[in-house]
Structure 1
Amino acid sequence: MWWSLREKRRRKMSSTHLHSQRPKRTMAQKSMKNPRSRSRFSVKTSENYIERMPPEVILKILSYLDAGSLFCFGFVNKRFQELANNNAMWYRFYAGQQAKKKNPRLIDEVTDGLSVVGIQERPEGYWRKQFFKELAGYNANWKKKLKAIHLYTGLPSQTAQILRSLRVRWAVTLTDGKGRESTSEQTHVHFTDAAVTVSWSAGDWPFIDQLTVLKLHGVVRVPLQCPDEYKPGWKSLLTKVKLNKDVWKLCGSDRLVKLLYTEQGITVGVWQEQREIAFIMVNLHYHQLVERSLLGSCVVQYQPAEHTAAFDDVDPEYGLHGYAAHIELHSTAGSIASGRFSQLFCTKDQISDGHLQLKVISKSNRSQHAPLCGSISLPWRTDALQGQIEGCCMLTLTVFDEAQIPFWCVSAPVAMTTSEQAEVSYDCTGESFFVRYEDAEGKVEIELRWMEDHKQYFMVSLIIFLSISKVNKHFGRDYLPQ
């Protein structure tokens, strides 16, 4: 017994000594000996098990997602995008949206007569697009509503309601000399009888001297339950203007900002000292505004059908006749003055300097003089400051041909200036001021008279000049400059 115990002790010590002399195995050698350990350490922890699943299993999982989650799932990678565009799943959302309008009918009944094969045969992403249009309220009903014409303005009477119901917004994109772009969506919007003024009071904008291009888009976003940066939508190009320091014209100023404007109603407020952009305003005329905000692409503007003037058998020597005009002076706070004038005409002897003249309000006819219901000023605001520029406002003008079709539309900022020379008039007393606008298609001259007794301005003269080249092209005439 004693020997056996001593022998066991000796063997144990020998075994311990040999174990201490044996080199330690690495983790890789241990894993080679233990298959279970090898499999555990050899599998990459970043491997996506969902990608290894059969497509049928993934589609079954995706069927439990809502529309917003399914749409965001397509941003993961190319394979997930293909699976997330499955027509059958998006048709289920589309049918559900249709069923809400046809309550109490069931979703299964809203199939439009399509079988399962018919649903899948549509192009990839077809039902997703149809669902987005349905969810955004984008349908052809607005085209019927545009046919209702306002008797006073001569423009579609439901333009503002259509734009609000379709959730149309506007975004401005500025590009600097290095090609860097900054995009901002509207912060404020003000609707009037014939135009909408869109404002941007904040944005990451470059200095105005660095601007090269300004683009304005109409934007419609689908109200999905997903982050704003991923929400689908449509962009329609309204305006693209190439800019440099020579295109800007001074409209007015106050202690803090200068108001500069360029073509197509684009107005920019610039800080007096730093030449940094403080705010942006754009005036948009109602004429075809809904179509331009919806039917263009992100790079191409909406192109309306080519206009063909109605046949006119009146002697060309008679000149223009039977025309009308609607004019409005307004700001972002409200209307200052508005009026509609009909039976406007221009005889051949009134064509001069490349323009045809339409005399709307005559200074000698006091019955035509119209009062202004407010002061001429243009309020502005940024995130931190606000103010108003005296002597500035917005002009919105629509000239209609004898068929009451708009052929010259203006919506732009204007400034009030004092008369350059004293004029003696026994019919009107008070100081005179002028409001002028001009572009390649025509010009407008308005004379205002301050009546001290009434403490308000009166519009005592309004003359519209139309470019001869525009008139000849629109009506197929051949009026020659005099």
Structure 2
Amino acid sequence: MKKPSSIQSASLESLPSEILIKIFAHLDALSLLYIGCVSKRFFYLTNDNLIWYRIYSSISSLKIFNWKPKAVKGTVNLLSVASIQEKEQGYWKKAYIAKQIATRKNGINQLLKPVNMYTGLPINIKEAVKAAGLKWTITFKDKIGKEYEIEQREVTFNDTSLTVFWYGSVWPPLRFQMSLQIHGVMPVLLNCTKSSTKNGFWWRSLIVKYDLMDLASNSTMIGCDKMVKLFRVNPGLLLGLWRSGSEIAFVMAAFHYHQLIEWSVLGSADNPVTLPPHQPNLDDVDPNYGLHGYRVHINIHSGGRTFMCGTFQNLFCKK
């Protein structure tokens, strides 16, 4: 007969809070956020102000493009323990995340300042998208409310717009889908840009929503080959359906660079951002003000290949 073992299995949950806080103090910010999702107790403990103040102070003087969150170990406290702990639980966690977002926003704004003299659009849009960790996802919602999120597979950048591609072997049945939404998704913390958008801490901004219940009247077939039928769904969506079965083969969307970053990050998961309307300057001297001085930039491309690109200047129109 086997004797009962005197060694009992232990888990993190069984450890005293003081020990857990000492363990959590060696984790970086992203790991703390993940651990906080395990249980209510872990969420409370990982909000410890002393841990987050040390992380906050370790990156306070570093810039967006050259810092990485450091572990708490070895970081010097600049304030007394009492003054740190007197704040409400989670205060320094919120301060750290807010500082990250503000620092990244300033860096992106600097990248977007240079504009093309012909188009008036940002020159460094590709660099800004990379710095923000920005991606785009499509979300299908079926008749019973279940959602299917598909991550982008490819992005091509052109002079005035970018094209996002979604394709793969697993798609929800189109006949059961009620709507399709396109979201801009941006990581809350910079060091989780390589993780899946389905897991992790990502900010979602709704860009556009399409009704799929009456796709026949909401779309126009613009081409086909032996395998795929191509439909245009306004605004700016191309839907490829297999000829056999009429299920989804791929989805493409084209986004103009004008205020693209704002549309992709400033909205919420359910509502797009409302940007202020453009207010033209008034001119009482020139009776034809607003009718001349236009430029038109034409860029015809397919994927990464450009077929025509040119700018026409000094255009005018009549009243």
TM-score band by shorter chain is: 0.7 to 0.9
Structure 2 residue aligned with 1:232, among 201, 204, 212? 201
Shift of 1:259: 0.8
DSSP 3-state at the match of 1:296 = coil
What residue identity is the alignment partner of 1:341? Answer: F
Shift of 1:161: 1.0
CA–CA distance in structure 2, aligned partners of residues 266 and 130 of structure 1: 39
Taking structure 1 as the reference length, the TM-score comes to 0.55
User: Is the 1:87–1:127 Cα contact (8 Å) retained in structure 2?
Assistant: yes
Q: Structure 1: which 5+ runs fail to align?
A: 1-36, 349-482
Q: Structure 2: which 5+ runs fail to align?
A: 68-73
User: Is the 2:204–2:265 Cα contact (8 Å) retained in structure 1?
Assistant: yes
Shift of 1:318: 8.0
CA–CA distance in structure 1, aligned partners of residues 152 and 194 of structure 2: 21
Shift of 1:171: 0.8
- Determine whether 1:87 maps to 2:58: no
Shift of 1:314: 5.5
Taking structure 2 as the reference length, the TM-score comes to 0.81
CA–CA distance in structure 2, aligned partners of residues 203 and 314 of structure 1: 62
Shift of 1:123: 5.3
Q: State the structure with bigger RCO (CA 8 A, min sep 6), 1 or 2.
A: 2
Shift of 1:177: 2.4
- Higher mean C-alpha displacement, 264-273 vs 134-143: 134-143
Shift of 1:126: 4.4
User: Is the 1:148–1:157 Cα contact (8 Å) retained in structure 2?
Assistant: yes
Shift in alpha-carbon separation, 1:120–1:326, aligned structure 2, 3 A: farther
User: Is the 1:72–1:226 Cα contact (8 Å) retained in structure 2?
Assistant: no
CA–CA distance in structure 2, aligned partners of residues 289 and 88 of structure 1: 39
User: Is the 1:97–1:134 Cα contact (8 Å) retained in structure 2?
Assistant: no
DSSP 3-state at the match of 2:284 = coil
DSSP 3-state at the match of 1:108 = coil
Question: What's the C-alpha RMSD, in Å, of the aligned pairs?
Answer: 3.3
Structure 2 residue aligned with 1:208, among 128, 151, 174? 174
- Determine whether 1:178 maps to 2:140: no
| Match of residue 224 from structure 2 | 253
What residue identity is the alignment partner of 2:143? Answer: G
Structure 2 residue aligned with 1:59, among 21, 39, 49? 21
Structure number with the higher strand fraction is 1
CA–CA distance in structure 2, aligned partners of residues 237 and 185 of structure 1: 14
| Match of residue 377 from structure 1 | none
User: Is the 1:319–1:347 Cα contact (8 Å) retained in structure 2?
Assistant: no
CA–CA distance in structure 1, aligned partners of residues 112 and 28 of structure 2: 35
- In the TM superposition, 1:16-27 aligns within 5 A as none
Shift of 1:202: 1.4
- Higher mean C-alpha displacement, 276-285 vs 226-235: 226-235
DSSP 3-state at the match of 1:216 = strand
Structure 1 residue aligned with 2:134, among 134, 147, 168? 168
CA–CA distance in structure 1, aligned partners of residues 13 and 306 of structure 2: 61
| Match of residue 198 from structure 1 | 164
User: Is the 1:68–1:225 Cα contact (8 Å) retained in structure 2?
Assistant: no
